[in-house]
Amino acid sequence: MSPRNLLTNPCWSAKDLGQALPDSPHAVSVALPRWKDVIAYEEKDPSVLKTLRSVYPRFGLNPLVLEVAQRAHKPPQWGECSVWPYPDIKTAEKARNFCHHKASGSKTIISEVLGLHCLIADAQATNAAKAFWQHTGLGASSRLAAIALNQEKAPLPSVGIKARSALKQRLAEIYCCPSQNIELHPSGMAALARALEAITTLHPNRPTLQLGFPYVDVLKLPQTIFEGSDLCLKTDPTAIEAELQKKKPAAVIVELPSNPMLQCIDLLTVSKLAHERGIPVIADDTIGSAVNINALPYADLIFSSLTKSFAGRGDILAGALVISPESHWSKSLKEILTNIDLTELSDADAVELEETSRDVKERLPKLNRACLTLKTKLEAHPAVARVLHPEKCPNFQALMRPGAGHGCLLSFELVGGLSQAKRVYDTLEICKGPSLGTNFTLACPYVLLAHYQELIWASKCGVPTDLLRVSVGLEKPDKLWERFEKALQN
């Protein structure tokens, strides 16, 4: 049976609950087609959880990874334990060291299972083990698990090396920098973890400073795993300057643009203010995409989730870290990173990513145009109260490459608020689940998925619960609009 064509036959109705998005054992999204499904998922309702054929990889164990974990021998005298497969012993040891740091007196062991290295954590260490797995994105990928289980064949090491080299060269051409300045990682968060390891060496015992409302783990990673992070929602340069002067952070972290509000900080000004005080800048360009924007003149380190629009398929977990050749710390950062163990993107994932990203320069402009078309139509519809998109953001425009677009993501609110958001979400005939950048359109009530336990805090930050986020895909624009129009008019 051929995989389901999600462009023409999306997973949108109750019967699609739990379907992998896309129809692949390595899918990074899962169908949550109704508002109540999202709530049940967040509340860990067993009736919903048992239907899930996939899971966003950092927020749980992919079924293949779970199968490896289930084969680990748990010490029976420990009672309840958790198991977390990692690609190599050094990465598993990082996870174990974190557990012992956070949960003194806890018990952990590392056990090799089918060639992967599983951290086995007792009940006392499990919360720390889960946090490290989620926030760092360093866990074993589903492809590594499939190979370990003898369900897929491993590519020859030489093929993996060739694929990584091609990927670095492709990214170097996009970023306009030497390929030697690019590292490949098992996820976007793994790339940020690597950046923070370098920054912690450069400026030890100092927290970072996040500017603008953050993607949940971009804030949680430095807060939980490293030296902490403060959050500044102010956008006025004078206020930011005061924060920099007061906090003296190890680095400033920005998202270009932010998720899900799609606002872009004034990177040119922030960079100047930070660099005058000897503070590096770390930027996340996942949503904007380096195809569209150029942040290297202003950011010292850029991390990006290649899982998203760079890959497009939605079944590869990968990330990149780029050292700006224009950075004052470029040489120092390279030397520091040389001395830190690297968890590199696996051969199997690199081979798949190299193949699917070959058309990225042609595909991204199509996504840009499709998203802008939908944004314009939504703005004109009387049922829509507000559309969030970077098109008219001067700070985003200041970073745009000639002839570039604004990315594939938008968010919108409806007249009628929460009740209307629920109704439109439930009836919208497109795929619905976490993640973004897929070739098929994908929607979600983002704030519920990312901040379910802190909805009041998110609302105080200006991020409403009824916001619907849409990653626009490669469907025919008129057909896609018909689906939105139908949902908006019901």
Q: Please, which residues have CB within 8 angstroms of residue 111's CB and are 6 or more apart in sequence?
A: 72, 73, 117, 118, 120
Which domains does the chain carry? 63-148 (3.30.70), 157-356 (3.40.640.10)
Which two structure tokens, joined as six digits, stand for 100?
């012992």
**Per-residue confidence (pLDDT) for residue 490, from 0 to 100:** 74
Please write the tens of the pLDDT for every residue from 267-308. Answer: 999 999 999 999 999 999 999 999 999 999 999 999 999 999
96 burial type by CB count under 10 A (0-12 exposed, 13-18 middle, 19+ buried): buried
Instruction: Decide: 488 and 281 in contact? Cβ < 8 Å.
Output: no
pTM of the shown model: 0.97
Please write the tens of the pLDDT for every residue from 386-400. Answer: 999 999 999 999 999
289 in helix, strand or coil? coil
Please write the tens of the pLDDT for every residue from 211-270. Answer: 999 999 999 999 999 999 999 999 999 999 999 999 999 999 999 999 999 999 999 999
Mean residue pLDDT across the chain = 97
Residue 90, H or E segment? helix 89-102
Does residue 2 surpass a pLDDT of 70? Answer: no
Does residue 1 surpass a pLDDT of 60? Answer: no
Report the number of secondary-structure helices (H) and strands (E) in the chain.
Answer: 19, 17
What percent of the chain is predicted at pLDDT more than 70? 100
Please write the tens of the pLDDT for every residue from 171-209. Answer: 999 999 999 999 999 999 999 999 999 999 999 999 999
**Per-residue confidence (pLDDT) for residue 334, from 0 to 100:** 97
Q: What is the 3-state secondary structure (H, E, C) of 200-262?
A: HHHCCCCCEEEECCCCHHHHHHHHHCCCCEEEECCCCHHHHHHHHHHHCCCCEEEECCCCCCC
Residue 403 Ramachandran class (φ > 0 left, ψ -120 to 50 alpha, else beta) = left
Res. 93 pLDDT band, cuts 50 70 90: very high
Q: Peptide bond before 237: cis, by omega within 30 degrees of 0? A: no
The rounded distance, in Å, linking the Cα atoms of 281 and 2 is 46
What percent of the chain is predicted at pLDDT more than 90? 99
